Amino acid sequence: MNRVPAFFAPRDRIAVLTCEPVGVLDYLAPEGGVRQGQLVLVPLGPRRVLGLVWGEGTGDFDLAKLRPVARILDAEPFSPGFLDFLTRAADYTLTPLPLMLRMATRAPDIDQPPAARRIVVPGSGEVSRQTEARARVLQVVAEHGGASFAASELAQLAGVGTSVVKGLVAQGALAEIEAPRDQPYPRLDPALPGKPLAADQQAAADRLRGAIRGGSYGTTLLRGVTGSGKTEVYLEAVAECLAQGRQALVLLPEIALSAEFLDRVEARFGARPGEWHSGITRTERRRLWHMAGRGEVGLVVGARSALFLPFRDLGLIVVDEEHDSSYKQEDVVYYSARDMAVLRASIGQAQVVLASATPSLESWVNAAAGKYTRLDLRSRYGEAELPQMAAIDLRAEAMEAGRWISPTLAQAVTARLQKGEQSLIFLNRRGFAPVTVCRACGEQIGCHQCDARMVEHRFQNRLVCHQCGETRPIPQACPSCGVEGKLAPIGPGVERIAEEVAARFPDAKATVLSSDLFHSARALKETIAQIAEGDTDIIIGTQIVAKGHNFPRLTLVGVVDADLGLQGADLRAAERSFQLMRQVAGRAGRQSGAAPGVALLQTHQPDHAVIRAILSGQDEQFWDAEAAGRQAAGMPPFGRLAGIILSHPDLGAVSDFARHLAAQAMPLAEVGAELWGPAPAPIARVRGRHRMRMLIRAPRQAPLQSAIADWLAPVKLPTNMRLSVDIDPQSF
Ligand code: ADP
Ligand code: ZN
């Protein structure tokens, strides 16, 4: 494809992609002409809307009646490669192009010029009449030493009204100046020396550096147990990419917890990277978006949506913990950031590094088929040993009623306490108890809005729906029969395990790590840092602890219920449980020189294939067996799947419409695809909307997307009916 953006002379007929449902419309190029990829404002009816110069106009609408582009925006034009990526991502995910454009322009005040904006910086700091609100504002300014803010932003950070900030400016305590809105990021220095690498690290780093110097597309699966030094290796790839003068992107699954990673980047390259996730300020969001486009940020660390930043020249995309399910977005636009990273790189002559100790089956199969290069780090960095793994057979343990920690696990914890080492007790279930039942009538308390049980969260003293977030106080009387004092929690969540730990190890210091117990990412980060410093004896945690933290004093991991993820009809259940347990077990004994770690799995099925694979450490056999099973069933990654979800407040309406749609699915049959369903979706009601699902399975090479598009094109959705298409659904 042509890499030079086309230029359109004034009054040329051009096609502009608007971010409105109408999509592409013809306009006249403005005075001075315009380049392809330029963001513009165009008139649409009485409004002006955001648009992107897409190419030559095609319509036959009378040239004399076409309206001109209203204004060219001050953003760098999107490159032809980026336009190509947006088009192909839209085709792949069956997303309307206007929605793609919205994703790619998610920056505040995109229609505002980059120069000269009134901002607030520290002034005299002397306040005539101190109030609590004023003090808070000054404290925020002090905490962000050197930073500057928009008045509204500062007010928001301090949790006060804008008038408080303006008052401080009026009395000279804060000063207002004109300044550029968006400043380039400090340059990262790729020539600074990294850590001396171990032999297998060096070999992997050399391969990646060579691939990046080659300047063409390739994907590498970088596999190595937790602590084997994958991060050090891909930082070398980043260094090479920066040295080539190209930009690099590192995607992390849990960006709120990336503080440690940002520090490592700073230590390695002498400056901090750009950050892109939901926790950054509007000013930073805008700055990063513009600097990505201008090539004035070398490295961006971000959440999945960073993949839709308009990088000027992206040479490397790292997807860390590539198996993590948070890379799949299932809202508005359904996409897998891992798969879209590969697409973007293949269009832009870039390299992809997929890093994981427990790769997704997709990546494993692609590596086995030679589509990806596989690089393995075989041991932990230094002499740190892998944890020893063992099952605790719960059928043989003398379990007391109302207790979930077996005598064997309790003994192991006691031994750690005596040695001053940390233990982690893992249960992937938030709250106190998953079910609240009335012992008088048998009622299980459910959500009014969803087909889900309410979960008791005792620390908050509320029942919570994990689907829609609805909460209510824990009732005294049963909502069904009205009998008082008969409601009982059934089964454990982490809060209940914490209660058991407090009762059984009264002298130990325990900390619960569960996402719902922290009101901010910062609070969570602080707690994690304290744990890492050794300031706790027993950690009780959900899957949030499985992700990439270094706890040097942690030598025991106990999995309360290793069987939890093994049930369920989901074909990915085994893969998921395997990944999660392998990751959790990997928390034990990470540091070289420390005592070797032990991981104990409490299970009722010690002979289950997943448990056996985990215990034996035979990961490759596990993946090969999983792959063989999927192949035999024609399931992904050997066959293709798509999900269609319909939802409507009325059950009759949605099931009638689903059947009506299914009856018209001839275009699917023509390409050899099968339609399964409609059936109630795995969660059949969410937020008051009933959901029906259809699954489509197609052979690997079938043109699945175009068949679905042909099928759905003539469909008119009834009022209030929603339809979403999920290509490569995560659960099936
Ligand atoms: P992974 O990403 O595979 O989990 P890391 O790259 O985070 O592994 O490495 C684990 C630990 O070992 C980190 O604390 C890291 O700083 C350290 N480490 C890894 N490689 C080296 C090296 N070559 N020299 C010194 N320390 C290293
Ligand atoms: Zn609900």
Span 16-68, pLDDT tens digits: 999 999 999 999 999 999 999 999 999 999 999 999 999 999 877 788 889 99
Minimal-distance CA residue to ligand 1 atom 26: 195
pLDDT at 652: 95
What is the C-alpha to C-alpha distance for residues 344 and 90, in angstroms, rounded to an integer?
12
Minimal-distance CA residue to ligand 1 atom 24: 195
* Residue ranges at the known binding site for Zn(2+): 438, 441, 447, 450, 465, 468, 478, 481
pLDDT at 516: 81
Residue 202 corresponds to which tokens in the numbers above? Answer: 């060096």
Residue 437: its H or E element: strand 435-438
| pLDDT tens for each residue of 395-418 | 999 999 889 999 999 999 999 999
> How many angstroms is it from 364 CA to the middle of ligand 2?
36
For the four alpha carbons of 580, 582, 583 and 585, in that order, the dihedral sign comes to positive
| pLDDT tens for each residue of 308-322 | 999 999 999 999 999
> How many angstroms is it from 198 CA to the middle of ligand 1?
10
| pLDDT tens for each residue of 81-94 | 999 999 999 999 99
Identify the band that residue 305 occupies on the pLDDT scale cut at 50, 70 and 90: very high
> How many angstroms is it from 505 CA to the middle of ligand 2?
36
Round the CA-based radius of gyration of the chain to a whole number and report it: 28
Please compute the mean of the pLDDT values over residues 524-553 and round it to a whole number. 84
Residues 6 or more apart whose Cβ sits within 8 Å of residue 492: 404, 427, 429, 433, 434, 500, 560, 561
Ligand 1: atom nearest CA of 384 is 12
Q: Has residue 550 got a pLDDT over 90?
A: no
Ligand 1: atom nearest CA of 320 is 2
Ligand 2 ion: Cβ-proximal residues, 5 Å cutoff: 447, 449-450, 465, 467-468, 470
User: pTM score, two decimals?
Assistant: 0.87
Ligand 1: atom nearest CA of 196 is 23
Minimal-distance CA residue to ligand 1 atom 9: 229
> How many angstroms is it from 232 CA to the middle of ligand 2?
43
Minimal-distance CA residue to ligand 1 atom 5: 229
Minimal-distance CA residue to ligand 1 atom 25: 195
> How many angstroms is it from 332 CA to the middle of ligand 1?
38
pLDDT at 1: 44
Identity at 163, one-letter amino acid code:
S
Identify the band that residue 282 occupies on the pLDDT scale cut at 50, 70 and 90: confident
Which H, E and C letters describe 517-564, residue by residue? HCCCHHHHHHHHHHHHCCCCCEEEECHHHHCCCCCCCEEEEEECCCCC
Ligand 1: atom nearest CA of 224 is 3
Q: Has residue 278 got a pLDDT over 90?
A: no
Q: Which of 251, 381, 590 most suits a substitution to test ligand 1, by most atoms within 8 Å of the C-beta?
A: 381
Q: Has residue 145 got a pLDDT over 80?
A: no
Please compute the mean of the pLDDT values over residues 291-316 and round it to a whole number. 96
| pLDDT tens for each residue of 100-120 | 999 999 988 888 876 555 666
Ligand 1: atom nearest CA of 232 is 6
Which ligand approaches the C-alpha of residue 583 most closely? 1
Ligand 1: atom nearest CA of 197 is 23
Minimal-distance CA residue to ligand 1 atom 10: 227
> How many angstroms is it from 464 CA to the middle of ligand 2?
8
Q: Has residue 124 got a pLDDT over 80?
A: no
Please compute the mean of the pLDDT values over residues 617-633 and round it to a whole number. 87
Is residue 357 within 8 Å of residue 223, measured between CB atoms?
A: yes
Residue 363: its H or E element: helix 361-368
pLDDT at 682: 81
Q: Has residue 337 got a pLDDT over 50?
A: yes
> How many angstroms is it from 320 CA to the middle of ligand 1?
14
Residue 88: its H or E element: helix 80-93
| pLDDT tens for each residue of 571-604 | 788 888 888 888 888 888 655 555 678 999 999 9
Please compute the mean of the pLDDT values over residues 323-332 and round it to a whole number. 89
CA-based nearest residue to 94, from 731, 723, 732: 723
What is the C-alpha to C-alpha distance for residues 205 and 220, in angstroms, rounded to an integer?
11
pLDDT at 551: 83
| pLDDT tens for each residue of 451-467 | 889 999 998 899 999 88
- Which has more confidence, 694 or 586? 694
* Residue ranges at the known binding site: 438, 441, 447, 450, 465, 468, 478, 481
> How many angstroms is it from 108 CA to the middle of ligand 2?
32
Which ligand approaches the C-alpha of residue 196 most closely? 1
Ligand 1: atom nearest CA of 226 is 4
Which ligand approaches the C-alpha of residue 688 most closely? 2
What's the complex ipTM? 0.97
pLDDT at 259: 77
Minimal-distance CA residue to ligand 1 atom 19: 229
Minimal-distance CA residue to ligand 1 atom 18: 229
Which ligand approaches the C-alpha of residue 586 most closely? 1
> How many angstroms is it from 156 CA to the middle of ligand 2?
30
Residue with tokens 């919570």: 464
Pocket of ligand 1 (CB under 6 A): 195-198, 201, 224, 226-232, 381, 550
pLDDT at 116: 52
> How many angstroms is it from 452 CA to the middle of ligand 2?
6
What is the C-alpha to C-alpha distance for residues 197 and 46, in angstroms, rounded to an integer?
62
Please compute the mean of the pLDDT values over residues 477-501 and round it to a whole number. 93
> How many angstroms is it from 575 CA to the middle of ligand 2?
28
Q: Which of 231, 238, 261 most suits a substitution to test ligand 1, by most atoms within 8 Å of the C-beta?
A: 231
What is the C-alpha to C-alpha distance for residues 541 and 534, in angstroms, rounded to an integer?
16
